Amino acid sequence: MKRTLSLVEVLIIGVTAMLLVVTVFALLSSLDFIIAALCVLAVFCLLLLLIKVNISPDRLRARQSERTLKLAAQTLPHMQKGLNEESAQEVCKLLIPATDASAVSITDREKILGYFGREMSSHLIGSPIRTAATYRALEEGKVQIARSYEEIGPAHTLETMHAAICVPLMQHDGPVGVLKFYYRSPQQIDANQLAMAEGLGGLLDMQLRLAELEYQRDLAAKMNLKALQAQINPHFLYNTINTIAALIRTDPSHARILLREFATFYRQTLEGSMEEATLDWEITQTLRYLGFEKARFGADSIICKVDVDEELLAIEAPAFIIQPLVENAVAHGRRGHEPLRINIRGSIVNGQVVIIVEDNGVGMPEAMQKLALNKDNSEHAGVALKNVAERLVGFFGINAGLEVQSKVNVGTRIILNLGSRNLSKVVTDDQSDNS
């Protein structure tokens, strides 16, 4: 890895070169021996200073830290995909310039996932593990050093590499693979190489664990969606079917429209692959739901107004983050025969994408507001709110979330914060449309 010399180092080298010239000139010109000796001593001292500056522990640690940070940035996108042949091969290519090894390899518990360097034809991706030290690293979960030709592999598969460092890649349940560095000679394996190998192994361990956490987060979000889908209100299903049945006698054309909408609504709700959707889709599904409730309670019983900035409609979010909130308003917020007014608004507030669902319903006391997002709340409304809140955080990160504001006999406002991560996409899409 190339490095630019500092100004101090350039000056030291320059002065050293000048003194060398003076020393040689003094010797050749038969000047006083003491002057020549002093020149030689000065050159020697400056050389020692230069060496000390370049091998000082602080400087070495700084260089190693800089190299590790660069490698971390380069390998992370690949390790986020988990330990597979594609990611392992790319990581091997990135690691080999950072070491004196002749080749770098990554395995799982059974086969080679990635290999880059000398003798690649003898280490085909997908071929089984053959190195005894690799098996020991997997069994013991400790770094293994192979210092003999026999420990590396069968004689017919190797020609130039006679030593290796095998670092187990650790996860919660133990070793999941091995990071290996091959060397031509055992003498190449010193304390620096061992520390480097262990450090890079630890870096990959951390990145694998981050990838696993990301996977678990996505899985949790999907399971929450499944749980929400499983909470289909049987009363809503029963009442909607009865409404359509009654309309078949009084208004057949309206009944046919509702029946088609009902089929579409539940197909979308139950569709297993619907884990995320655009806000446009979410609002359409919500209005479809309200169409059934209006048919049941009367066209003027529920008045819904949607005011979402057009550029936000293409934002992708977890499916069913608005409909459950509207459903709660209809189920728990209506006040007798008074029309229920629901407003759905979406805009960018202080750089954050914010969706607001508010109604003029019965509202809820402060104690109930606090209970609404409590994990121990088993009420349907509380479960739905908590479900939406958790999936927002799982999808957008910790800056996203849900806030409940409510006053008794005034209404309820639910604020969904989707964070700022979507803002770049909105701006980019808007700019591309204008170009």
CATH code, domain carrying 96 = 3.30.450.40
In this predicted structure, what is the pLDDT of residue 119? 81
Of 205, 329, 226, which is closest to residue 271 (Cα–Cα)?
Answer: 226
Percent share of the chain, pLDDT over 90: 19
Domain count of the chain? Answer: 3
**153 plus 193 within the same structural domain:** yes
Per-residue pLDDT for 26 more than 60?
no
**pLDDT value at 428 more than 60:** no
Of 245, 259, 309, nearest in space to 288 by CA: 259
CA distances (Å), origin 155, targets 116, 149, 184: 20, 8, 14
Domain housing 312: 231-434
Question: Same domain, yes or no, for 178 and 253?
Answer: no
Distance (Å, whole) CA 243 – CA 233: 16
End of a domain among 17, 38, 55?
A: 55
Same domain, 390 and 426: yes
Nearest to 281 by CA among 267, 270, 295, 268: 268
- Return the closest-CA partner of residue 183 out of 198, 170, 166: 166
What pLDDT does residue 224 have? Answer: 56
pLDDT band at 40 (very low <50, low <70, confident <90, very high): low
Q: Is residue 262 part of a domain?
A: yes
Question: Considering the domain boundaries, does residue 320 fall inside one?
Answer: yes
Amino acid 283 reads I
Residues 116 and 260 in one domain: no
* Ramachandran angles phi, psi of 346, nearest 5°: -145, 130
On whether residue 75 sits in a domain, the answer given is no
Residue 64 pLDDT class (50, 70, 90 cuts): low
Check whether residue 281 and residue 368 sit in a common domain.
yes
Cα 98 from Cα 6, distance rounded (Å): 22
Task: Render pLDDT for 362-378 as a digit per residue (tens, 0 to 9).
Answer: 998 887 877 776 655 54
Say whether both 36 and 134 belong to one domain: no
* CA 128 remoteness from chain centre: 31
- Compute the distance between CA of residue 269 and CA of residue 139 in angstroms, rounded to an integer: 47
Half-sphere exposure of residue 435: CA atoms within 13 angstroms, side-chain side: 6
8 Å CB contact between 146 and 164: yes
Task: Summarize pLDDT for 200-217 with one digit per residue, the tens.
Answer: 888 787 777 776 666 556
Between CA 419 and CA 427 the distance in angstroms is 14
Last residue of a domain, one of 157, 191, 217: 217
Q: Which residue has the tokens 């979410």?
A: 282
Q: Say which range, 169-183, 267-281, 298-312, has the weakest mean pLDDT.
A: 267-281
Among the candidates 217, 246, 275, a domain finishes at 217
**Any domain includes 417:** yes
pLDDT tens track for 159-210: 677 888 999 988 777 888 999 999 888 888 888 788 878 888 887 877 777 7
Neighbours of 275 (CB within 10 A): 16
238 and 208 in a single domain? The answer is no
Residues 150 and 284 in one domain: no
In a domain, 2, yes or no: no
209 and 241 share one domain: no
> 91 and 21 share a domain?
no
Residue 69 within a domain: no
In a domain, 250, yes or no: yes
Do 305 and 169 sit in the same domain of this protein? no
Q: What is the pLDDT of residues 92-131, one digit of tens each?
A: 888 888 788 889 999 998 899 999 988 887 788 888 888 8
Rounded distance, CA 97 to CA 67, Å? Answer: 10
The pLDDT assigned to 356 comes to 96
Instruction: Pull the structure tokens for residue 92.
Output: 């091997």
Check whether residue 403 and residue 280 sit in a common domain: yes
Residue type, 61: R
Averaged pLDDT, 150-154: 64
Share of the chain above pLDDT 70, in %: 67
- 281 near 269, Cβ under 8 Å? no
- Total-model pTM: 0.50
In a domain, 303, yes or no: yes
Q: What is the pLDDT of residue 16?
A: 60
pLDDT band at residue 360 using 50, 70 and 90 as cut-offs: very high
